[in-house]
Structure formats: structure tokens, C-alpha cells
Amino acid sequence: MTLSSPTLDTVVIGAGPAGVGTGLALSAVTSLTLGVVERGSVGETFRRWPGEQRFLTPSFTGNGFGATDLNAVHPKTSPAFSLGIDYPSGAEYARYLGSVVKHFGLPVLGDTEVIEVRTTDDGFTVYTNRGPMAAHTLVWAGGEFHAPASARFNGSTVVDHSSTDVAWSRREGRVVVIGGYESGIDIACHHVALGATVTVLDPEHPWDAATGSDPSFNLAPRSQHKLARAKATGRLTLSSDGMVVAVKPASSGTFSVSIAGLGAVLADSRPILATGFGPGLGPVSRMFARRDDGWPELDANDESTITPGLFLSGPSVRHAGLKFCFVYKFRQRYAHIARVIGERLGKDCDALEQWRDAGMLTDDLSCCAVECPC
């Protein structure tokens, strides 16, 4: 694929797990022409993960018995097998994605940033930093790492986001983490393990959630285990006393974190913001309607309700109360999107049944979110 290729059947924007996985499913559709464009290299987000961060969903080589590795993006691959590790770091997972792209010969154009997208009579023109390209359909798989949720209090310039290396570097004394779901608990436990005294502030107290077995709403088992170990040190406080309303520098290099209706908590370093990401739709932002909660409105095929031919793949996918924010969840839609695109263009999509056989295709969303009885 080059930028001067004739109009492609589909272009996928982004070469993270969503873009690579959807690209691989699309390439199983007979004679469909496609390209993946990526502003950096394959797995760019994972290359940028802080070095200390690791997956919280485990990888395991269960593929041969129908238990496809939870972090795999193609039915015949397993990060546990190719990396020899169960909880990969970002750099390791990027290596897995790169090897998958190479093995299957997925056409990925790196160093190509999509700046703007316009609709045309027969699809889309995608304007990149290296020139325009044309496609009949488009899949946005740009992820959300580049769009950290901004702080909803005064003082956002004196906090460090949990996705930055500096937030993970050793800190002395009192550490304050704002946000207590996965990323907040992860980084809080990390600093407790390094010897700091940590306070996590979150009025929603997500660490207590016991609403079911879905890790989108409850801490994953690995995080629960880390949390128990951190609590046992006596140096971790979990506080749901109120909303953080302001952060400001205080005397002697400390920082004061004010909580609504209460006093302030002091930190000996810049507080850490762990309030999540997304939805990060970049240049296609205006091509999606929004739900009341701000996430993109999709039809049952993960297609924009206002821009026909534009699909969303990745962790920002939401259907009613379902969140597809882990690889093992959003990968359920790669083959579905590929089938919808392929069938519209009159192509043979039979090879996509391989995804269903591997437990990697959910086209009936009513089957999701079943709870474990014990």
C-alpha cells in the first residue's frame, strides 16, 4: 500500500491492537483491498507506556483448546507463546504486535498521521501528513492513550498523569493519587512497594466495587491482590471522603490537595492524576454523535450513526451499559466489522468463521456481561 494507491475498500487508522486486529480480520475477506495507517510504528502506544507498567489481563497459551490467549489479536496467535511471558510490559506487547503484522503481511504505513477526514460521494478522503488517500469505508482505531481525561479541578498543571514515566519514578514521603480505579490502584501500589506513604482519593471508591465479575466495573484479580499487599504495609489510605476541587503548591515544596467540604491532604511531590482516558476520536471526532455520557454513539455494527461507512474499533466502544475497554472485549468486534464491510461490498466473508471458532466473535451483544455464579 502507498498513498497513491487507487481508492481502497477500507482504511484503518491506528496500528495498536484494535487496528492490527481489525486489519487482520479485514484481510481475511476475499479480495478486499485495505491499508492501515499509523502515525508512529506498530504498537506505538505500548512503546510509550511507562516502563514499569504491565498488562493486568493475563496471557496464556490456551489456544489449542479453544481458550484463545486473552491478549491475542488474531485467533492463531498468542502473546504468551511469542513473548514467553504472562503479563507483558508495553514494550513486549508492541513486539508481539509487530511480529503479527510481519507474519501475516498486514499492509501498515508507518509515520503517517491522519490530520483530517472528509466524506466524499463514494466514501472518504483521508488527509495525512504525507498526502491524501481515498477509501470507501473507514475504521477509526486511534485508541485513547493520546487523550488523557482532563482534571476537573483547579490546578491541573501541577499534577502528573499516571500515563507518564515521571509519575512512576520513585517519590519520597507522602504521595497522593487522584482516581482509584485500575490505573490509580496500580500506581498507588507501585509507590507503596517503593516505600512511600500513599493516599488514594476517589469519592466513587471503585476499589470497593463488588457489582459482579466484569473487570470494567471491578478491580481485576491481579489488582485486588496487589491492593491487599499494599494495605498490609499500613502505608496505603483509600479515601472516598469527597471530590478533589483544587491542587496547589504549598510551603517547602509540598502540594495541597483540597477536598470539597473537608480540609486538604498534603503531598511531598506533585499529585498523580489517574482519572483515565478517552474517548480520543481525533480527526473523526465530529463524525460521531455522542451519548449522554460523552462516549460515541454507535449502531449495532459499531458504525457511526451520523457518518455511514465509518466504524469504531477499540476501547471506546460502548453499547448501552457494556464497555469494551479490554483487548479480550473489543477484539470480539474485529470480525463483525470486517463482515459488515465485506458483505456490503459483495465479498466472500466465510473465512471470518475462524474468529468465531476461536471465541473471538460476538455478533449478538445480548450474550455479553453474563455473571459468574461463584
Ligand X SMILES: Cc1cc2nc3c(=O)[nH]c(=O)nc-3n(C[C@H](O)[C@H](O)[C@H](O)COP(=O)(O)OP(=O)(O)OC[C@H]3O[C@@H](n4cnc5c(N)ncnc54)[C@H](O)[C@@H]3O)c2cc1C
Give me the DSSP letters along 252-311: GG-EEEEETTS-EEEESSPPEE---B----GGGGGGS-B-TTSSBPB-TTSBBSSSTTEE
Instruction: Tell me how far, at minimum, the Cβ of 46 lies from ligand X, in Å.
Output: 6
Under the binding rule (CB under 6 A), the answer on residue 45 touching ligand X is: yes
Q: At its nearest, how many Å lie between ligand X and the CB of residue 61?
A: 17
Residue from 8, 11, 12, 18 binding ligand X (CB under 6 A)? 18
> In angstroms, rounded to a whole number, what is the distance separating the alpha carbons of residues 279 and 317?
9
Pairing of strands 236-239, 197-201: parallel
Site for ligand X in 78-137 (CB under 6 A): 113-114
Contact letters for ligand X, residues 174-213 (x by CB under 6 A): ---------x------------------------------
130 to each of 109, 112, 116, 137, 335, how far by Cα in Å?
Answer: 11, 6, 12, 20, 30
Q: What are the Cα distances from residue 185, in Å, to 168, 190, 222, 223, 345?
A: 12, 8, 11, 7, 46
Which cell is 152 given? 476537573
Closest CB 137 distance from ligand X, rounded Å: 17
Determine if 277 is a binding residue for ligand X (CB under 6 A): yes
Q: 108 or 244: whose CB is closer to ligand X?
A: 108
- Crossing angle of helices 334-344 and 17-27, in 10° steps, is 40
**50/43 Cα distance (integer angstroms):** 14
List all residues 6 or more positions away from 167 whose beta carbon is below 8 Å from its beta carbon. Answer: 50, 160, 161, 187, 272
Contact letters for ligand X, residues 301-320 (x by CB under 6 A)? -------------xx-----
Cell, residue 31: 479480495
Considering only residues 53 to 82 of the shown chain, the ones binding ligand X according to CB under 6 A are: 53, 55-57
| CA separation, residue 245 to residues 9, 177, 184, 237 (Å) | 49, 14, 18, 19
CB of 257 to ligand X, least distance (A): 22
Shortest separation between residue 230's beta carbon and ligand X, angstroms: 18
Closest to ligand X by CB, 168 or 255? 168
The minimum distance between CB 53 and ligand X, in angstroms, equals: 6
Binding mask 282-301 for ligand X (x = CB under 6 A): xx------------------
From 14-22, 188-196, 223-231, 337-345, give the range in contact with ligand X by CB under 6 A. Answer: 14-22
> Grid coordinates standing for 74?
488474531
The answer to whether 19 and 331 are in contact (CB under 8 A) is: no
Q: Is residue 279 close enough to count as binding ligand X by CB under 6 A? A: no
Site string for ligand X, 209-248 (x = CB under 6 A): ----------------------------------------
Our finding on whether 52 is near ligand X (CB under 6 A) is no
Question: Which residues make up the interface to ligand X (CB under 6 A)?
Answer: 13-19, 37-40, 44-45, 53, 55-57, 113-114, 141-143, 145-146, 163, 183, 277, 282-283, 314-315, 325-328
